[in-house]
Amino acid sequence: MSAREFAANPPGAWGPVSTEDWNDPAWQLRNRIQSLEHLESRLRLTPEERAGTILAGKKLALGITPHFFNLIDRQDPDCPIRRQVVPRVEESITSPEEMTDPCGEDGRMPVPGLVHRYPDRVLLLVTDRCASYCRYCTRSRVVSGAGEQELSIDLEGAYDYLKKHPEVRDVLISGGDPLLLSDAKLDHILGRLRQISSVEFVRIGSRIPVFLPQRITHDLVAMLKKHHPLFLSIHANHPREITAEVRDALSRLADAGIPLGNQSVLLRGVNDQADTLKELFHKLLLCRVRPYYLYQCDLITGSAHLRTTLREGQEIMEQLRGHTTGYAVPTYVVDGPGGGGKIPIGPSYIVGMTDDRVILKNFRGDVYEYPEISHSPVSDLRG
As annotated, the active-site residues are 117-118, 121, 130, 134, 137, 139, 298, 335, 342
Least distance between ligand PLP and beta carbon 261 (Å): 9
Residue with smaller CB distance to ligand PLP, 217 or 331: 331
- Spatial neighbors of 288 by CB under 8 A, at least 6 apart, are 250, 251, 254, 260
Closest Cα to residue 181, out of 234, 127, 123, 143? 127
Least distance between ligand PLP and beta carbon 63 (Å): 23
SS3 40: helix
DSSP class of residue 100 equals S
DSSP assignment of 113-141 = TEEEEETTEEEEE--S--SS--TT-TTTT
Based on the number of CB atoms within 10 Å of its own CB, is 33 exposed (0-12), middle (13-18) or buried (19 or more)? buried
Least distance between ligand PLP and beta carbon 365 (Å): 30
Q: At CA 119, angle to CA 160 and CA 328, rounded to 5?
A: 115
Least distance between ligand PLP and beta carbon 206 (Å): 14
Least distance between ligand PLP and beta carbon 170 (Å): 7
Q: Any idea how long the chain is?
A: 383
Integer Cα distance of 80 and 72 in angstroms: 8
Least distance between ligand PLP and beta carbon 335 (Å): 7
Please check whether residue 72 is in contact with residue 82, taking contact to mean a CB–CB distance below 8 angstroms: yes
Residue with smaller CB distance to ligand PLP, 239 or 261: 261
List the 350-353 sheet strands across, edge first: 350-353, 357-361, 367-371
Residue with smaller CB distance to ligand PLP, 91 or 298: 298
Based on the number of CB atoms within 10 Å of its own CB, is 47 exposed (0-12), middle (13-18) or buried (19 or more)? exposed
Instruction: Taking each helix axis as running N to C, give the angle between helix 183-194 and helix 155-164, from 0 to 180 degrees, rounded to the nearest 10.
Output: 20
Using CB atoms, what's the residue nearest to ligand PLP? 123
Residue with smaller CB distance to ligand PLP, 24 or 154: 154
Q: What is the Cα 150 distance to its own chain's centre? A: 22
User: Which residues sit at the interface with ligand PLP, rule CB under 6 A?
Assistant: 115, 117-118, 121, 123, 172, 342
Helix (H), strand (E) at residue 185: helix 183-194
